Every structure is written in C-alpha cells, then in structure tokens.
Amino acid sequence: MRFSLTRWLLAPRTTWQARRLAADFGPGMDARTAWTMARLAWHPDEHVFAMAHLDGDDRPSSSGPGGR
C-alpha cells in the first residue's frame, strides 16, 4: 500500500492515521479506503466529498447534503 507524497504534504495527520488503520485491518484494505475512513473520523462534514472520492468522481454528488 502506498500513499502519495501529495497526501503526506497536504494532510499528514490523516495519512498517518490511514496507514495505521490499514496496518491494523490487514491486506484487505486499500490506501484510498483507509485514507477516506481516517479523514471522515476527524471531518465528518466531508462525507459527500469522500463518497465522490471513493467512486472515482472528481466532483461531489449534487444529491448530497447542501446539493442543488
């Protein structure tokens, strides 16, 4: 599992927590999922953005909270 340098520079706490989470979970968790779970633990308001990130979409869904 690899975390990009960009993630380490922009969100070091989240990336560190994601590494720990993935290590505890085992080989079945990918870096993207671990990072999203760690991010949502501290920033639950970013749920819409996190789901778009996991879906591989660049923009959040308009049907989420605050959407039009």
Average pLDDT over residues 26-54: 87
* pLDDT, the chain, mean: 78
Token pair in block for residue 53? 């990130």
Average pLDDT over residues 41-62: 77
In a domain, residue 13? The reply is no
In a domain, residue 67? The reply is yes
In a domain, residue 20? The reply is no
User: What is the amino acid identity at position 19?
Assistant: R
For residue 61, what pLDDT band results from cuts at 50, 70 and 90? low
- Tell me which residue range forms the domain holding 59: 30-68
In a domain, residue 23? The reply is no
Please say if the pLDDT value at position 63 is more than 70.
no
Q: How many domains does the chain have?
A: 1
State residue 60's pLDDT score.
54
Structure letter (DSSP) for residue 57 = -
Contact indicator for 30, 54 with CB cutoff of 8 Å? no
Q: What pTM, to 2 d.p., does this model score?
A: 0.65
Distance from C-alpha of 46 to C-alpha of 11, rounded to nearest angstrom: 14
State residue 59's pLDDT score.
56
Cα distances (Å, whole numbers) of residue 9 to 1, 37, 65: 17, 18, 29
